Structure 1
Amino acid sequence: MNNSFHLFLILCFLSVSNLITGNTMQQDSIYLLRGRIVAADTKEPLANASISVQQMNIASISNQDGYFSIRIPDSTKHSQLIIRYLGYENKEIPIITLIDNPNSQITLTPSWIELSEVVVVSGDGSELIRNALRRIPQNYPERPHMMVAFYRESIKKGSHYISLVETVLDIYKASYSSYSNDQSRIYIGRKATDISPRDTIMLKFQGGISDALLLDIAKNPEIVFGTDASEYKFHIEGLISFNDKPHYIIVFSPLPEVKDILFRGRIYLDSESFAFARMEFNMNVEEEKEAPKIFIKRKPAKMKVDVNKAQYVVDFIENNGKWYFNYSSIEVIFRVRWTNRFFGLFSTTYTIGSEIAITDRYDNKVLKFPRNERIQSTDVIAEKVEHFLDPDFWGEYNVIEPNQEIMDAVKRLSGKLQRRAE
């Protein structure tokens, strides 16, 4: 495989850490907006809806049950909150009507697309993808900028979480028209582990933050598409509305004659600018004996590992004609068994997951980080975060709750997840 997305993990023998919790701190002088987003047609909650403040870079995403929460400064209380979701009309809501109204239910109406708006609605999508790749320098920021992000990574054994790491990051986002790499550094972090002495292994998650940023396929298209996307077939499945604009839905998969481990999934492409708006895809690892070599850097010789699933999501948001990296997630599921033990017939499933959500973005004081502060692709964040613990930072969010979506963590911390005064 010559253009694979490498997510490295190290399997090693058990080491036990302590659960880290925090204490309560004073509340920020900002407004907390809460609500739930549902579909008008199905009455079902809308997960991963985009929530942003008009003419601001403050953003959030709804969780799997449609709930959202976002903290905003007092200066924006007379602005509009904008809700966006694939296939539905945008909705603008006066922020002042949401203050002190935590049970707000926001209903989005399906958006119907006039077919006359675009010419091609089915057939081969190869030329659309080639256009999208060519137009990356025009559609995405040509200058570097800074971002603040919330990052979470987890390891589960079966259905039980054995490791959780949460960090607030500063990110230097390199220009999309340059070959410079993105940079990140940890501002604050914490972790929790819950490993039984009966456990025989612990997985170390190496390079999680770097991989989360590499999922920006507009910045790093070669990660998925290689040099020219020639190993894939692309089919236009139809149209869907997002941000009140039509988007192509393009399904892609490796060509039948290509035997490498590659990717398949859906691309949502803005029909006017050909910008990548969202991608949902996975690696075709099923029954592939070589798949573990992509993910596992080191393991005991008698341990057999099969990769059951490797899936990815990357999401972008448009602002003033430019598209910005907004969110990504990774989930890789392994089946592990020992070949030299009586119970080797029984296997254990491990799930490795990470998510990153951009919570603020700014264009002044754009500086690269000193080399000794940068996160490296070889870093194990669960070990590195030891140097960034600050219980007072987390405020009311003083217990790690693994079953919550990343945006449930963001909503508790969003007052902290904005640019800090120098």
Structure 2
Amino acid sequence: MRKTDLAAHLCSYCIRLLRTAPRYIGCLCLVLSLFGQTLAQSVNVRGRVTDADSKTFLPDVTVTSGPSSTKTDSSGKFSLNVQQTILKQVGLRFTHVSYRPQLAPYDPSDTYQVRMKASFIELPEIKIMGSGLSVLEKAIKRIPQNYPDKAAMLTGFIRLQYLRNGTDHFNSDAMVQLFIPPVRSGREPAARLVTNRTDTLTDPSLIFIKWIGAYHAPLHADFVGKKAAFIDPKKIRTYQYQLTGKRRLGGRTVFAINFAQHDTSGKKEATAGTLFIDSATFAFAGADISYFHLKRYGVLPRSKVQYSVRYRKLGSKWYLQEAFTKGNTIYKKEDPVSLTDYVTTKIDTVNVTPFSYADIIQETDVTQRIRKPTDTTLLNGVDSMLQQTLRYQELYPVAELATARTDARKNERKGRNWLNYFTGDNTRAGISVMRFPLNNYSSSGPVNYGFQLGAHYRLYQGLFLGFEGAGNIGANTALSLYHFRLSYEFTVTSIVGRSVIFTPIVGYNILTINEKSKSLKSQANYWSYGSAVAFELTHQIFLSATLTVADLTLKGTGSFRPTTVSPALGLMIKR
């Protein structure tokens, strides 16, 4: 081959190579690009976080995977874009100030349902440091100027729900008014019911588990008004605090400070949560608070109570705007959960006076019994207003409650009527100091006096059948009296708004006397007549005075002689 032909051939080959090279280079770049995208592929993971005990949603849970992080919303939901390779390596980590950290391994479905277990352990990283302490102390010092210096009346809507095993429901919507005294007055706040609507009681035995204090839930949540320990200057050193930065809350910028108590035993009552302090006024704008290991609330032990509180600035003062409460009760294996959600719709500060005794709802009033359907049209806007609260999504849906109500009517069992009897206003208990209808001529002292216990049950309207037993104080002489009685209650309301109950009584008595030191015994069976008057101290407790007369004859020998009068003074408890 000639040199000229070889040169021409090489030149032609190079020209063809240059023409096709971009095609191969482009393919190579595409392959490398796809390989790189595979290595750093981003996936969207989503899910919901709930409380393992109460099964309710958990907001503000931090979700992290490598450098990516987010927080759950008010309904416990989250959505996060993460690198798949990192997700496969480290999974998702869930943390909350009052729950055990939890790690969820990689799930190919990219959907996670996480249940977090409440835990109260020491958090050594949470300490009062630098600006955190100054922010907290400044907020405490400014309480007198940031909160009402004169009485206010708040009007608002509240929804109450009691759930058991996730299937049995009690639901009530109400309009309430709250009396809020000046923040430094030392006076007690109070609640008054305007109207309520109660339904959806699928299991009558829910009434048997008495729920008290539900209408007071907003007042309990008002940690500024009740001067909670974690904002008390004398007690803040028993807590740990951590300033976590700033965030937006209700359209305002706030400092977020986590706080907790030491509790290495895991058995003591403890508190943890997050305080939100307005950056402009240094007012407490709200808080999320959890109380753990509570001993009792009412008659049942409580494992945990959670509050979510928000305040609103009106003029130069801050007022309670919304309050959500969730309580977990320990009762067999039935997991009762109580929920309340409150929102303020009106604030009055002109010529506000305390509520009268007759109007207030008392702390120990049983929620399921409270009925005041005066004007339920006032409740037409309750759901739309509550939807504006931060924790509305944790309430049980009203539509599902309506279905439960319909099913309950179909499956109603008359065999449970006895529960309604014992949980209604049908029983009375009494404890008193009484004088036996006797005189002892051979000795002096308290031998003629004793303690008396009684129980009384409604037969019809004001008619009660009762049984009482009494024993004396003397050691050497034993007196015992058993009293079966019929009584009829007449109730009137006094000028101060408290009830007064007048009760005529007729009864049959069995009296025995045992003078141990003298080996003497005597006894008497006799009828007695009398009356009692009881004055209301609270809705459940009355101061009671009783006077009965009898004409009795003792059988046997002894040092006692009968008298005709037997007085008693004590307390009557309405159940």
For residue 294 of structure 1, what is the aligned residue in structure 2?
296
C-alpha distance in 2 between matches for 1:164 and 1:173 = 26
- Give the AA of the match of 1:216: D
* Aligned ranges 1:240-319 → 2 under 5 Å: 240-242=247-249, 245-255=252-262, 260-285=268-293, 291=294, 293-295=295-297, 297-298=298-299, 307=303, 309-319=304-314
* Bigger relative contact order, structure 1 or 2 (CA pairs below 8 A, ≥6 apart): 1
User: Does the 8 Å contact 1:156/1:163 carry over to 2?
Assistant: yes
For residue 180 of structure 1, what is the aligned residue in structure 2?
187
Equivalent of 1:206 in 212, 235, 238? 212
- Give the AA of the match of 1:294: R
Secondary structure in structure 2 of the residue aligned to 1:237 = strand
Kindly indicate which of the two structures has a greater share of residues assigned to helix.
2
CA gap 1:135/1:228 in 2 versus in 1, 3 angstroms: farther
CA gap 1:247/1:122 in 2 versus in 1, 3 angstroms: farther
Secondary structure in structure 2 of the residue aligned to 1:371 = coil
C-alpha distance in 2 between matches for 1:180 and 1:209 = 19
- Give the AA of the match of 2:209: L
C-alpha distance in 1 between matches for 2:143 and 2:312 = 14
Shift of 1:280: 0.6
C-alpha distance in 2 between matches for 1:397 and 1:132 = 33
Shift of 1:256: 5.3
User: Does the 8 Å contact 2:246/2:256 carry over to 1?
Assistant: yes
For residue 364 of structure 1, what is the aligned residue in structure 2?
350
Per the normalisation by structure 1, the TM-score is: 0.56
Equivalent of 1:334 in 326, 329, 343? 329
C-alpha distance in 1 between matches for 2:394 and 2:263 = 37
1:373 and 2:359 aligned? yes
- Give the AA of the match of 2:291: M
The percent of aligned pairs where both chains have the same amino acid is 20
C-alpha distance in 1 between matches for 2:154 and 2:199 = 26
User: Does the 8 Å contact 1:148/1:171 carry over to 2?
Assistant: yes
For residue 24 of structure 1, what is the aligned residue in structure 2?
none
Show CA shifts across 1:261-287 (max 9, x none).
1211111111232210110121233xx
C-alpha distance in 2 between matches for 1:200 and 1:141 = 39
- Give the AA of the match of 2:177: D
Equivalent of 1:322 in 303, 306, 317? 317
- Give the AA of the match of 1:283: Y
User: Does the 8 Å contact 2:195/2:376 carry over to 1?
Assistant: no
- How many correspondences in the alignment? 271
CA gap 1:256/1:396 in 2 versus in 1, 3 angstroms: closer
User: Does the 8 Å contact 1:126/1:233 carry over to 2?
Assistant: no
For residue 220 of structure 1, what is the aligned residue in structure 2?
226
- Give the AA of the match of 1:315: R
User: Does the 8 Å contact 1:224/1:262 carry over to 2?
Assistant: no
- Give the AA of the match of 1:349: D
Show CA shifts across 1:6-38 (max 9, x none).
xxxxxxxxxxxxxxxxxxxxxxxxxxxxxxxxx
C-alpha distance in 1 between matches for 2:247 and 2:235 = 26
User: Does the 8 Å contact 1:248/1:270 carry over to 2?
Assistant: yes
Show CA shifts across 1:93-143 (max 9, x none).
xxxxxxxxxxxxxxxxxxxxxxxxxxxx97562342222222110111211
User: Does the 8 Å contact 1:155/1:203 carry over to 2?
Assistant: no
CA gap 1:242/1:397 in 2 versus in 1, 3 angstroms: closer
Show CA shifts across 1:270-308 (max 9, x none).
1232210110121233xxxxx3x232x325xxxxx672x
Per the normalisation by structure 2, the TM-score is: 0.42
Secondary structure in structure 2 of the residue aligned to 1:221 = coil
- Give the AA of the match of 1:131: K
Shift of 1:157: 0.9
Equivalent of 1:136 in 138, 143, 154? 143
Equivalent of 2:174 in 148, 167, 170? 167
For residue 18 of structure 1, what is the aligned residue in structure 2?
none
Q: CA RMSD in A?
A: 3.7
Show CA shifts across 1:157-186 (max 9, x none).
122242112211122221113111222211
Equivalent of 2:240 in 220, 223, 233? 233
- Give the AA of the match of 1:375: I
C-alpha distance in 2 between matches for 1:45 and 1:230 = 31
Show structure 1 runs of 5+ residues with no match: 1-43, 48-62, 66-120, 286-290, 300-304, 338-346, 410-422
Shift of 1:354: 1.3
- Give the AA of the match of 2:210: K
CA gap 1:306/1:407 in 2 versus in 1, 3 angstroms: closer
Shift of 1:397: 7.9
User: Does the 8 Å contact 2:154/2:344 carry over to 1?
Assistant: yes
Kindly indicate which of the two structures has a greater share of residues assigned to strand.
2
C-alpha distance in 1 between matches for 2:207 and 2:357 = 32
Show structure 2 runs of 5+ residues with no match: 1-70, 78-127, 399-575
C-alpha distance in 1 between matches for 2:136 and 2:382 = 42
C-alpha distance in 1 between matches for 2:143 and 2:381 = 41
C-alpha distance in 1 between matches for 2:355 and 2:73 = 38
CA gap 1:298/1:335 in 2 versus in 1, 3 angstroms: closer
Secondary structure in structure 1 of the residue aligned to 2:364 = coil
Show CA shifts across 1:373-422 (max 9, x none).
112111223212x2445455545989xx999777999xxxxxxxxxxxxx
